[in-house]
Amino acid sequence: MQRKTFQRGNLTFSYLDTEGEKPLLVALHGHMMEGATFLPLMQILQSDYRVVALDQRGHGFSDHAASYTRDDYLCDIEVLLQTLNGNMPVILLGHSLGGVNVYQFAARHPDLVQALIIEDIGAVVNDNLSFCLPWSGVFKTKENLVACIGPNMAPYLAPSLRQTAQGWKLAFEPAEMVQSQKCLNGDHWQDWLATSCPALLLHGTQSPVLSGVMSEDMVRRRIRTQLQSLPGGHVLHQDDLPGYVEAVKHFLAGLAAQEA
How far is Cα 178 from Cα 96, in angstroms, rounded to an integer? Answer: 14
pLDDT at 186 over 90: yes
User: Quick check: pTM over 0.95?
Assistant: yes
pLDDT at residue 85 is higher than 90: no
125 forms beta bridges with 186
Instruction: Please compute the mean of the pLDDT values over residues 190-213 and round it to a whole number.
Output: 98
| Mean pLDDT along residues 201-220 | 98
- Cβ(175)–Cβ(86) below 8 Å: no
Task: Report the run of H or E that residue 87 belongs to, with start and end.
Answer: none
Q: Of 13, 16, 29, 37, which is closest to residue 158 (Cα–Cα)?
A: 37
Does the 2-124+175-259 domain belong in CATH 3.40.50.720? no
Q: Is residue 72 within 8 Å of residue 9, measured between CB atoms? A: no
- Say if CB 27 and CB 38 are below 8 A apart: yes
- Domain extent listing, the chain: 2-124+175-259
CB within 8 Å of 251: residues ≥ 6 apart:
115, 117, 198, 200, 226
pLDDT of residue 256: 87
Give 154's DSSP letter: G
pLDDT tens figures, 88-142:
899 999 999 999 999 999 999 999 999 999 999 999 999 999 999 999 999 999 9
Strand partners, 130: none
Compute the distance between CA of residue 12 and CA of residue 24 in angstroms, rounded to an integer: 22
Beta bridge partners of 27: 53, 93
* 132 contacts: CB under 8 Å, gap ≥ 6: 32, 174, 177, 178
State residue 243's pLDDT score.
98
Look at residue 78 and tell me whether its pLDDT is greater than 80.
yes
